[in-house]
Amino acid sequence: MVRSTIVISIAIMITSPALAQNLLVNPGFDVPDQLNGWTCTTTEGIAFWSPDDRLGSAGSGSMEHEVSGTSDDDRVRCSQCVPIDEYLPYVASAWFFWPDDPDVSQVGSTRITFQFYSETDCSVPLSGGGGRVGYPILDTWLHLVTAELTAPTGAMSAGVYVFTWQDLANEPVRARLDDIDFSTTSLFRDGFESGDVDAWSFSTP
């Protein structure tokens, strides 16, 4: 059964901050048949490269998830661990697409969140959150953006996580993600937290 009703209370349509540098590897899935840079785990599902690009480019694609679990809340999760700077504010975002396919139920959601860690390999968690849940409008690309969070003292890495979520047992779902972004919203690289002014240059007029 295909759900035809629309719930879009949390998906937010905005553009990414200008000039922000995306810290993710392979965020737009520009190389066919691979998900390099992404680590995917699942309870009952798969993740693979799809030729369906958000902007319709023949030279790019997206990441597709299929979840066909026998339990409620089965899911596919894909993530990256990236280096970050303490005290800077960060935000994550992704575009997601749920096709109107008759062979899947499409009762579920796309989710995105991130977590700060005190080690470089995302092994010792500090704080996290900012998570957002996006509900599909079938056959439509939607933009999902987290809340902004500032990296706490001692943070050295962040894990960025995207999920495709199957709400109900034996009601499979299929969704795509593209142009995933994780970046700082600060344009200044030195907030003087380090006790020096090394990031600034000096001249006398």
Binding site for Ca ion (CB under 5 A): 28-29, 53, 60, 178
Q: How far is the CB of 44 from Ca ion (least distance, A)?
A: 26
Q: How far is the CB of 53 from Ca ion (least distance, A)?
A: 4
The smaller minimum CB distance to Ca ion, of residues 87 and 141, is found at 141
Q: How far is the CB of 29 from Ca ion (least distance, A)?
A: 5
Residue 146, C-beta contacts closer than 8 angstroms, at least 6 positions apart:
91, 92, 93, 112, 113, 114, 130, 131, 132
The smaller minimum CB distance to Ca ion, of residues 61 and 172, is found at 61
- The CA distance from 59 to 56, in Å, is 9
The smaller minimum CB distance to Ca ion, of residues 97 and 117, is found at 97
Q: How far is the CB of 28 from Ca ion (least distance, A)?
A: 4
Q: Which of 55, 56, 54, 74 is nearest to 66 (CA)?
A: 74
Could you tell me if 145 and 15 are in contact, meaning their C-beta atoms sit under 8 angstroms apart? no
The smaller minimum CB distance to Ca ion, of residues 5 and 36, is found at 36
Q: How far is the CB of 66 from Ca ion (least distance, A)?
A: 18
- The CA distance from 159 to 123, in Å, is 9
The smaller minimum CB distance to Ca ion, of residues 60 and 115, is found at 60
Residue nearest to Ca ion (CB): 60
Question: Measured at the alpha carbon of residue 146, what is the angle toward residues 108 and 132, in degrees to the nearest 5?
Answer: 25
Could you tell me if 65 and 76 are in contact, meaning their C-beta atoms sit under 8 angstroms apart? yes
